[in-house]
Copies of this chain bind each other. A is one copy, B any other.
Amino acid sequence: MTKLLLATRNAKKLGELRRIVAAEGLSGIEVIGLADVPSFPEAPETAPDFEGNAVAKARDAVAATGLAAIADDSGLAVDALNGMPGVLSARWSGRHGDDEANLDLVLGQLRDVPDERRGAQFVCAAALVLPSGEETVVRGEWRGTLIRERRGVNGFGYDPIFQPDGEGRTSAEMEPAEKDALSHRGLALRALLPALRDLG
Which A residues lie at the B interface, using CB under 8 A? 44-46, 48, 80-84, 86, 88, 91-95, 104-105, 107-109, 111-114, 117
Contacts and interface: CB of A to CB of B under 8 A. Distances in A.
Contacts of A113: 46
Residue from A82, A83, A92 whose CB has the most chain B CB atoms within 10 Å: A82
A33 B92 CA distance: 36
Give this chain's copy count.
2
A105 B86 contact: no
A105 B94 contact: yes
Contacts of A46: 112-114
Main SS class of interface, A: loop
A91 B112 CA distance: 10
28 contacts: A44-B112, A45-B112, A46-B112, A46-B113, A46-B114, A48-B80, A48-B117, A81-B82, A81-B84, A81-B88, A82-B82, A82-B84, A82-B86, A84-B84, A91-B108, A91-B109, A91-B111, A92-B109, A93-B105, A93-B108, A94-B104, A94-B105, A94-B107, A94-B108, A94-B109, A94-B111, A95-B108, A105-B105
